[in-house]
Amino acid sequence: MRRWYIGAIFAVGLALGGTVVWLITRSDDSSPHAGQSSNAPTSGSSTSLPPGVSVNAQQLLDRLDHASKSTFHVRYTTGSASESHATLEIWHTADRVRRDVIAVSSTEGTVHTEEFLTKEKFVRCASFDGKNYQCVGAPLTAGSSLSDPLQGADKGGVIGRKVTISQTTVAGQPATCYTVAGADSSSPPSQFCLSSDNVPLRIDGGDGKPVIATNFDQDVPSSIFTPPASVTGS
């Protein structure tokens, strides 16, 4: 059985209808369990670098991989489309994830989704304008079809691109930011700001609508992974 998790690179695409997309990837059972140390080295990768991948780029990839095995709770605000906005909240362990999104649109109303991912099942619950939740379960094969809309910082996204490193503070936490140059001179750069524990605190895909952490802690109780209503489906 492979271990599933939310990848450290994720994006929230907020359209007028409040559509939200997230990245789900997977790792091998060799990944450390929650509570085990998962800090990435602060220097470049100890292995030989792939062709075209710089030391800074490989460090970013390594740290994002380590983040996928961490335990954390983060609340984010997201960039807004016209007359709409959203908040995003994630509770994350090495083998369980919950993601809540509250999307507010002046034309479509308010949608609150709660999504749960374990080794056995993916569950999505939704409430429209404060009404009762409806929850639907799906096998992991369905959950695996979710993808990263940014085509973010994978090896293909950093090959041949300059990656610069800077320091900042996000949600009261010191953060290291990796700025990845655009594909060409007309393309804006993307940026990934990570905590000392490798948790993404700010993600900017270059579209001017960054996802920014407003709260960060490691409080992830088991009860947080209980859906708010009975689950139908697989």
Each residue of 56-109: pLDDT tens digit? 988 988 888 787 778 899 999 876 656 677 888 999 888 888 989 888 887 778
pLDDT at residue 74, rounded to an integer = 92
Closest CA to 42 of 60, 21, 67, 65: 60
Each residue of 21-57: pLDDT tens digit? 333 333 333 333 333 333 444 444 445 777 778 899 8
**Picking from 143-152, 183-192, 206-215, which range would have the lowest pLDDT averaged per residue?**
143-152
Each residue of 151-186: pLDDT tens digit? 334 556 777 889 999 999 999 999 999 999 988 888
Closest CA to 231 of 116, 129, 119: 116
Check whether 9 has a pLDDT greater than 60.
no
pLDDT at residue 13, rounded to an integer = 33
Question: What are 190's two structure tokens?
Answer: 């993307």
Give all strands of the β-sheet with 109-117 in edge-to-edge order.
163-170, 173-180, 190-194, 200-204, 211-217, 72-77, 84-92, 97-105, 109-117, 122-128, 134-138, 231-233
Closest CA to 191 of 9, 6, 7, 5: 9
More confident residue, 227 or 38: 227
What domains are defined for the chain? Answer: 3-27+53-233 (2.50.20.10)
Q: How far apart are CA 18 and CA 75, in angstroms?
A: 18
